[in-house]
Each structure stands twice: as C-alpha cells, then as structure tokens.
Chains A and B, each alone.
Chain A
Amino acid sequence: MNPLLATVRRDVLLALRRKSEVLTAVFFFVIVTSLFPLGIGPEPVLLKKIAPGILWVAALLATLLGLPRLFAADHLDGTLEQMALSPSPLGLLVAGKILAHWLLCGLPLVLLAPVLGLQFDLDASALGILTLALLLGTPLLSLIGAIGAALTLGVRGGGVLLALLVLPLYIPALIFGAGAVEAHIAGLDVGGHLSLLAAMLVLAAFFAPWATTAALRVALE
C-alpha cells in the first residue's frame, strides 16, 4: 500500500477508536459561532455582515485546538522515530498525517459551516461560497499548522507557543476566505479571492510538508 494512504488510514482508524478528540474541535466550532449572536444581539443585518469573519475565525481557532496533538502522541510512544527511519520518505508520511488531520478536523468544519451559517441569516448562495472558501482554506490551515506543531513538539508551553507562531501565518487565509463571502454578499466577484486561496493552497502543499519534515527531524535529535 502507498505509505501516504497507509498513514491516512492509520490516523483515521486511531481517531475513530478515540472519537472524543475529534468531536472536541467540532463542538468548539459550534459553540463559539453560536456565542457571537448572544454577545452582539440578534439584529439580522449586523449578524449577516459579521458572519463570514466569525465563522472563519472560529474555524481557525478550532483547527488550532487540534494541532498540538498532531504529532505529540506519535512522538511520545516512539512511532515518530520509526517513521523517521522508515524506508518510505518521511515527507510522504508527514503529508499523510496532515491529510488525515484535515479529514478529521477540517472537513467536519466545512460540512458544518452551512448549517451554522443559517444562524446568521446567510442566503443559499452565500452559504455555498462560504463552504467553497472553507473547502479551499481549511487544508491550508492544516498545512501551515503542521509546521508550527512540528516546531513546538516537546517544547515547554507548546500549546500557547503554537498559537503565537501559527496565527500570524493564518492571516492571509482568513482575509481571502472571509473576504470571498463578504464580496459575494456585497455583490462583487469572488473569483479573485477563491483563486488566490487556491494558489496559496498549492504553494503550501509543496512547501509545508517539507518544512514540517525538517522541523520534525530537529525535534527528534
């Protein structure tokens, strides 16, 4: 079997055996987005205006929540060492782990977003753009986040440090992702936003596994 797919299968299987870890991030996403209307007030015009930003920031934080565990368990029980010494290229295994992280953490957010968008009075076409933007953006969040997770592996205060390292790098994804939905609501063309998100995704898909691999080798030394 292809080592990349084998890694994905392994991580998904592990997550299914321990469902709570996956569900935590999803619940977090649902609760945080639902808190905003309670804090701001139920006025539909205002909610509609801030919806893209809120859903995106919540997706960003929910992704961040799962990141410290991306490599930690494999690091603790020695599986990461075995991966580094495997005849398969470590970059491929790392790419598999990132893909699994997206399937378990990013994809549920993408699927839930249209439902949560209803709370903010978004119409069907805006919900469609939101889902599409998240579909392009959440893999980007997983890819960039993996670099941070690898850099902070086994480091004091890793979780907070991870947020400090990763959040500034998430800003372009946030701007174009939320911007696409805002532009659509304002009646503007969203092609530019989405193609820039796609371009960043391609760039990150090339570089992030490589940088993550380098960081993991440093962490294992």
Chain B
Amino acid sequence: MHWNSVGDFFAMGGYALYVWGSFGACLVLMVVEPLLARKRLTEVRDTLARERLADELDHQSGTS
C-alpha cells in the first residue's frame, strides 16, 4: 500500500483530473448503459402487458 492518506489517494500524485476523469467517465457510462438497456426491456414488457389487458377487456365486453 503506497498511499499515505485518503487525500493522497484522491490527489493521485497531481493527476487527479485525468485519472478520475477517465475512471469516472467509465463508471458513469457503464452505469447508464445497462439502465438504458433495462429501460428498453421494461418498456416493451409494459406495452405488451397493456396490449394484453386491452385484449382481455375486449373479450369480456364481447366486442372482440
């Protein structure tokens, strides 16, 4: 372990902007992308569920 303190760790020997800028961007994008993929999946599922509900309602009222 070559970091003397937490502040030392975050300072990254004077390269804080560049190191955290890189790792931060990776972290942010790699959190956002799965969330977007997940959202796309849930949206399709919701639409399909709503369609099925509408079909069932049609069925019950006998208008289908």
User: Are A and B in contact, CB atoms below 8 Å, in the complex?
Assistant: no
